[in-house]
Structure 1
Amino acid sequence: MTITAQDILNARILIVDDQQTNVLLLEEMLQSAGYTNVSSTMDPRTVTGLHRRHAYDLIMLDLQMPGMDGFQVMEALKANAIHDYIPVLVVTAQPGHKLRALQTGAKDFVSKPFDMVEVKTRIHNLIEVRLLHQRLADHNEALEQEVLERTADLRESEARYRALTELATDWYWEQDSEGRFTKVSGPVLEMLGMRVESLLDGPDAPQDDGWNVAERVALQARITARTPFLDVLLQHAEADGSVRRYRVSGTPMFDANCSFTGYRGFGVEILS
């Protein structure tokens, strides 16, 4: 995020003064210092529109002007600001106006009659700060866009994962942090012939629903401990005396603050 000397000399500068002699003096001073992009206006009413179109890196603004003084110009700039940084350097012959100018939004000031060394130094410093501020804003905007794009990619990837899981397994499931099922997909109800909630209920659930009690209690212990599990065996006794066997896998889910939000996983029937 380094600002070079040429970056500063290429900065967009607007001079606003109703006195042509002041405008010419400042233009000559800036051009002799190497600044390459200097423009001016003697009509303060045009400043807001000009800044909206050209996004100046520095506005040298005289305070004492007829029709619309420098304070009114700064208020108009703030009301129409695209960015929160208004790069105004106030030019004034009235020492009492300096504090009010800073309170109104000016970033710095120079006094008339001009001390050219001081003016050049303040201009250089303000432009450097302005360019650094803009680089930081652009960097933050790029980061925000990258986050949005990565979030979209993550959601798309998760959707593909779920779709593939649903195709490759007999059912896909999600639970919230309280153990309640929030999503179940696949032919699980028809396949098991029972409520899916009974699959992962805790040890207090009815024990006559056909599931192997020891296997289910062991699985519930893993979920309570919030550990992932892979291909855990669950067996279910059917009414005709046969036993159906299933492999269940799951992983805990956490939000951006690392808070536990639940589990998700899938299951398949073991066909022998």
Structure 2
Amino acid sequence: MVSAPDIFNASILIVDDQESNISLLEQLLNEAGYTGVASTMNSQEVCALHRKNHYDLILLDLQMPGLDGFQVMEGLKTNAADRYLPVIVLTAQPGHKLRALQAGAKDFISKPFDLVEVKTRIHNMLEVRLLYKQLDNYSKVLEQTVQERTAELRESEARYRSLTELASDWYWEQDEHGDFTKVSGPVLEMLGIRVDSLAGEPSDARAGGWNEAEREALQIKIAARQPFLDFAFSRVNADGSQQKFRVSGEPMFNRSSRFIGYRGVGVETTAKN
């Protein structure tokens, strides 16, 4: 919510080529308690003043020499930093009201001024304007928070990857078809598995000597999309020696909850037994 002090401390620019109108509005606003009131009789400097001071509200006369109010509003629209045009137009021409609203003005005040109407419209406009600024600031904070959290997640993932590589002999990822898409570590030397799928060739995951019962049990877990921890499997090499391994893995899913493969780590345990 917008507090009363926020409203009365808002910055207001009065733009009118008639000094008497400016004096009347300044007196009215000052007596009402507004503290940030400025004015100009030169319509050509409004855009530059707004870029510099970021007014919460501009009271803009439509009929002025040099640039009229419609031209000023077109100039204000070029300020990319302000997506909300904080303008109330001042006009004695009823036919200009609709055109002004179509040009981007948020409200209008009729001349000659009705002092109660002036105070009411200005107060209401400032409340909406300040709420809009709060929302915009919240969106920026939210966007920054998302970016920070994303960076933290990426850092955490990189840290996890480093730790798993240090704590295991190899790290691996497979796609939904079972082909290796990413590995780190001596997979070929340890397992005899060629990871050629990275170059567009199918993975050779059928190096000889594997325990088929263990292989089948692991495939059942994978087919069921189950995670597995320290799953033991082994093979007998051509020279009769036996190798033992433990592998851990978890299924991966995209944002649509579609299965896209597995990732995990493995370690040879032969020397530990």
Question: Once the 2 structures are TM-superposed, how far is the Cα of residue 81 of structure 1 from its aligned partner?
Answer: 3.4
Contact residue 13 and residue 55 of structure 2 kept, 8 A:
yes
- 1:216 maps to which residue? 215
Distance in structure 2 (CA, Å) of the matches to 1:34 and 1:259: 60
- Structure 2 vs 1, CA of residues 134 and 118 (structure 1 numbering), >3 Å: closer, same or farther? same
Asked if structure 1 preserves the Cα contact closer than 8 Å seen for 2:59 and 2:90, the reply is yes
- Report how many residues are paired: 265
Kindly indicate whether the alpha-carbon contact (under 8 Å) linking 1:48 and 1:76 is maintained by their aligned counterparts in 2: yes
**Partner of 2:17 in structure 1?**
18
Report whether the alignment pairs 1:64 with 2:55: no
With over 3 angstroms needed to count, the CA separation of the structure-2 counterparts of 1:242 and 1:92, relative to structure 1, is same
TM-superposed CA distance for 1:240, in Å, is: 1.4
Match of 1:241 in 2: 240
Measure the CA separation in 2 of the matches of 1:79 and 1:189: 61
Contact residue 208 and residue 237 of structure 2 kept, 8 A = no
Residues in 2 aligned to 1:179 and 1:207: alpha-carbon distance in whole angstroms = 12
Q: Please say if residues 193 and 205 of structure 2, whose CA atoms lie closer than 8 Å, have aligned partners that are also in contact.
A: no
- Counterparts of 1:197 and 1:235 in 2: how far apart (Å)? 22
Q: 2:94 corresponds to which residue? A: 95
Secondary structure of 2:77's counterpart equals: helix
Deviates more, 1:248-257 or 1:125-134: 248-257
RMSD: 1.8
Question: Which runs of 5 or more structure 1 residues have no equivalent in the other structure?
Answer: 199-204
Q: Compared with structure 1, are the counterparts of its residues 251 and 194 closer, same or farther at alpha carbon in structure 2 (3 Å cutoff)?
A: closer
Alignment of 1:191-202 (within 5 A): 191-196=190-195
**Aligned residue number for residue 269 of structure 2:** 270
Q: 2:250 matched to 1:251?
A: yes
Classify the secondary structure of the residue corresponding to 2:177: coil
Partner of 2:120: 121
Secondary structure, counterpart of 1:80 in structure 2: coil
Question: 2: distance between equivalents of 1:262 and 1:138?
Answer: 40
Change (3 A) 1:256 1:142: farther
Tell me the TM-score normalized by structure 1. 0.92
Distance of 1:13 and 1:33 partners within structure 2: 13
Deviation string for 1:178-220 (max 9, x for gaps)? 332221001222222342589xxxxxx9877221222222222
Q: SS in structure 2 opposite 1:56?
A: coil
1:1-272 correspondence to structure 2 within 5 Å: 2-196=1-195, 209-271=208-270, 272=273
Q: How far did 1:225 drift?
A: 2.3
Distance verdict in 2 for CA 1:102–1:136, change over 3 Å: same
Identity between Structure 1 and Structure 2 (%):
65
Change (3 A) 1:178 1:107: farther
2:200 corresponds in structure 1 to: none
Say if 1:61 and 1:151 are closer, same or farther in 2 by CA, change over 3 A.
same
- 1: CA distance, partners of 2:255 / 2:58: 43
User: What is the letter of the counterpart of residue 149 of structure 2?
Assistant: R
Shifted more, 186-195 versus 225-234: the winner is 186-195
Gaps of at least 5 residues in structure 2 are 198-203
8 Å CA contact 1:207, 1:213 repeated in 2: no
